[in-house]
Amino acid sequence: MRAALSPLRVECRDATRARWTTPLAASEARRVRREVSTRSGTDRIAFDDSTPRARALALDRRVCVARILLSVVCASRARDANAQDGFTRVESASGWNVFESDGDSLSPRPYALEWPSGWSALEDVSSARSVGVDASFKDFNDEASTLAVFITDVKQLSARERYGTLEEDARLRAESAPNQRTIGKKTVEVRVGDRACEGHQIETLVGGGTAGRFGAAVELVKIWIDPKSGKEYLIRATASRSSWPRAKASLRRSVDSFRFVN
């Protein structure tokens, strides 16, 4: 029998430390948006983290909540004439921009990431960091094309310990919602200081919603854990199913370009 899905819980605290927990269903999305937009950066999101399946589901839901928060941040910035929905378009003669983390990053280790020229970068990341988003980019010419860096604290010391084998991880991600299937997967090695950490890179065809309102899409994730800092790193790229054949090379390059520096 298939395991029951664990409910997503949104947990917020205000200055008086009042707390509430509620299931996040479709009808609750507006409430989440309203609460996030009116509360401080100390708000946090609580997810079931008890099993590999629950962790895979929680990851999908964390991304969903992050998108809600990002929409709030972007709406608040939309009045800036130089920004499009809170993002700033950046172009480079080389065809690639380079993002470098700063002192406010969620990562204790500085890192760099390449992203395509002509894409736009989220201006105000400080609010997004309350749900683990450390950087966010999108292509306004094809809005289903996105790239984001998620960094969260975890108890496990490796992707295998947290999500199981590569095959198990890919299967659980595909089963986290209807009409999804794995279209690519591989084990990757990430250099973290003087050690190599094993990670998972998985491409999943999703049935709509993951990239917003754009119907069927492809989601590419690369995920690993730094055992020394207890940080999980997730690089997530998306594209609509129709644009994936022409976008996949650039998205894969962006995901693979992540590197720790110094």
Here the tokens at position 248 are: 């996949």
For residue 67, give Cα distances in angstroms to 8, 62, 243. 15, 9, 21
Q: Which residues contact 85 (CB under 8 A, 6 or more apart)?
A: 74, 75, 77, 78
Residue type, 223: I
In degrees and rounded to multiples of 5, residue 249 shows phi and psi of -65, -45
Average pLDDT value for the chain: 76
Mean pLDDT value across residues 168-196: 94
The answer to whether 128 and 159 are in contact (CB under 8 A) is: no
Mean pLDDT value across residues 70-83: 43
Domains defined along the chain, listed by start: 82-260 (3.40.1000.10)
- Please write the tens of the pLDDT for every residue from 106-164: 999 999 999 999 999 998 888 889 889 999 999 988 878 999 999 999 999 999 999 99
Mean pLDDT value across residues 18-35: 36
In degrees and rounded to multiples of 5, residue 115 shows phi and psi of -140, 150
What DSSP assignment string belongs to 83-112?
Answer: -BTTEEE---TTSEEEEE--TT-S-SS-EE
pLDDT at position 4, please?
35
Q: Residue with structure tokens 């690369």?
A: 222
The answer to whether 24 and 5 are in contact (CB under 8 A) is: no
pLDDT at position 203, please?
98
Q: How far apart are CA 252 and CA 232, in angstroms?
A: 19
Q: Which residues contact 52 (CB under 8 A, 6 or more apart)?
A: 162, 163, 164, 168, 169, 172
What percentage of the chain exceeds 90 in pLDDT?
A: 55
pLDDT at position 10, please?
29
pTM: 0.70
